[in-house]
């Protein structure tokens, strides 16, 4: 058995994993106090949770999934978390004497979905987008995996400021965080979790203002999506992260928006669109695949 750790933009999840099965999982949502000293609190949560797990399970390796720039298992920079130059192996391996690997969240989730989920069986040309606090992506081409900086593709000249330093990035218009913030603003609330957001949109998608927010969000999403399709001509695109829970709201609207607004250059090359089957567990499972 292995330990998978998914360090996301809003929470950290740690699980005991056997192939594609989650045996045990513990999660911590970042509140304001946790964010005040994010790195130290993440470190303490990981050490405490791993210590507890090792009392009951024999663990062969620890895999970490995190958004950001990673080289040789070192997190160089994570814009959405504000973390820089962190060597998780140096932190965890001396404590537990267990090998640690660190990979980009899109690589982890994409590999899990390729081996066990929505991309299984698509070997020639497929893309996986992980959409949550930001947008990450990978591409599978002829069985090989490639990094893809889709989230920081500019879709609006002089647009919204992105934490990466550029303006108008895809993720500043089409991440789930963007949609959540718009709904929070409309409802005049300080917070709404993923489940509440989904339920609210499902129940109120015919509401005029909600429909307007959704239409604008989906249109911006389709601008970035069709750029990707026109450039890479994938056979299938899988969607992961929080986005994968919105099948009943998003997929039909995406197809309608692309068709009605003539957004696709290669109209006969519309790929299969599939929601991730492993949902938010994809990152944890994929972290243990390396």
Per-residue pLDDT reduced to its tens digit, 166-215: 999 999 999 999 999 999 999 999 989 888 999 999 999 889 999 999 99
**182 and 265 both lie in a single domain:** yes
Contacts of 75 (CB under 8 A, 6+ apart): 66, 68, 69, 83, 84, 85, 86, 87, 88, 102
User: Is residue 116 a part of any domain in this protein?
Assistant: no
pLDDT averaged over every residue in the chain: 95
CA dihedral 180, 118, 137, 143 (to 10 degrees): 180
**263 and 130 both lie in a single domain:** yes
- Does the pLDDT value for residue 147 go beyond 90? no
pLDDT for position 266: 82
Question: Who has greater pLDDT, 79 or 12?
Answer: 12
Q: For residue 6, give both structure tokens.
A: 């998914």
User: Is residue 272 a part of any domain in this protein?
Assistant: yes
pLDDT for position 286: 97
User: Is residue 265 a part of any domain in this protein?
Assistant: yes
**132 and 196 both lie in a single domain:** yes
How many percent of the chain have pLDDT more than 90? 87
d(CA 30, CA 19): 28
User: Is residue 113 a part of any domain in this protein?
Assistant: no
End-to-end CA distance of the chain: 13
Confidence category of residue 148, pLDDT binned at 50, 70, 90: confident
pLDDT for position 118: 97
Per-residue pLDDT reduced to its tens digit, 263-277: 999 888 899 999 999
Residue 92 sits in a domain whose CATH number is 3.30.420.40
**80 and 151 both lie in a single domain:** no
**Domain encompassing residue 206:** 121-276
- DSSP string computed for 253-281: HHHHHHHHTT--SSGGGPPEEEE-SSGGG
Phi, psi of 16 (to 5 degrees): -85, 125
Is 147 in contact with 104 (CB distance < 8 Å)? yes
pLDDT for position 111: 94
pLDDT for position 13: 97
**Whether the model pTM is above 0.85:** yes
Is 5 in contact with 12 (CB distance < 8 Å)? yes
From 67, 93, 97, select the one nearest 81 (Cα to Cα).
67
**92 and 127 both lie in a single domain:** no
Please tell me the total count of domains within the chain. 2
**93 and 180 both lie in a single domain:** no
Per-residue pLDDT reduced to its tens digit, 49-86: 999 999 999 999 999 999 889 999 999 999 889 999 99
Residue 165: other Cβ atoms inside 10 A: 9
pLDDT for position 281: 94
pLDDT for position 123: 84
User: Is residue 163 a part of any domain in this protein?
Assistant: yes
**129 and 263 both lie in a single domain:** yes
How many percent of the chain have pLDDT more than 70? 100
Per-residue pLDDT reduced to its tens digit, 233-246: 999 999 999 999 99
**100 and 146 both lie in a single domain:** no
pLDDT for position 205: 86
- Does the pLDDT value for residue 110 go beyond 90? yes
**132 and 39 both lie in a single domain:** no
Compute the average pLDDT of residues 112-140: 93
pLDDT for position 119: 96
Is 4 in contact with 287 (CB distance < 8 Å)? yes
d(CA 190, CA 187): 9
Alpha-helical runs (H) found in the chain? 32-36, 38-54, 88-96, 105-116, 171-174, 176-187, 194-204, 208-232, 247-260, 282-287
pLDDT for position 251: 95
**81 and 150 both lie in a single domain:** no
């Amino acid at each position: 058995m292995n330990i998978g750790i998914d360090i996301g933009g809003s929470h950290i999840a740690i699980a005991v994993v056997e192939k594609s099965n989650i045996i045990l999982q513990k999660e911590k949502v970042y509140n304001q106090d946790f964010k005040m000293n994010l790195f130290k609190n993440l470190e303490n949560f990981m050490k405490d949770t791993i210590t507890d797990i090792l009392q009951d399970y024999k663990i062969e390796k620890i895999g970490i999934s995190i958004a950001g720039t990673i080289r040789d298992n070192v997190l160089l920079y994570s814009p959405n978390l504000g973390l820089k130059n962190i060597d998780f192996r140096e932190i965890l391996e001396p404590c537990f004497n267990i090998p640690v690997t660190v990979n980009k969240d899109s690589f982890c989730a994409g590999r899990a979905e390729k081996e066990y989920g929505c991309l299984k069986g698509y070997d020639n040309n497929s893309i996986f987008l992980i959409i949550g606090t930001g947008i990450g992506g990978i591409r599978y081409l002829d069985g090989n995996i490639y990094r893809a900086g889709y989230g920081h593709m500019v879709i609006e000249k002089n647009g919204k400021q992105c934490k990466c330093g550029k303006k108008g990035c895809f993720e500043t218009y089409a991440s789930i965080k963007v949609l959540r913030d718009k709904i929070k603003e409309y409802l005049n609330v300080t917070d709404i979790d993923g489940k509440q957001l989904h339920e609210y949109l499902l129940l109120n998608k015919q509401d005029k203002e909600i429909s307007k927010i959704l239409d604008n969000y989906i249109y911006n999403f389709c601008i970035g999506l069709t750029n990707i399709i026109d450039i890479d001509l994938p056979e299938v695109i899988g969607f992961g992260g929080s986005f994968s829970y919105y099948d009943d709201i998003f997929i039909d609207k995406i197809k309608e928006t692309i068709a009605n607004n003539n957004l696709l250059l290669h109209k006969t090359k519309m790929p299969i669109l599939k929601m991730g089957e492993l949902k938010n567990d994809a990152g944890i499972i994929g972290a243990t695949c390396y």
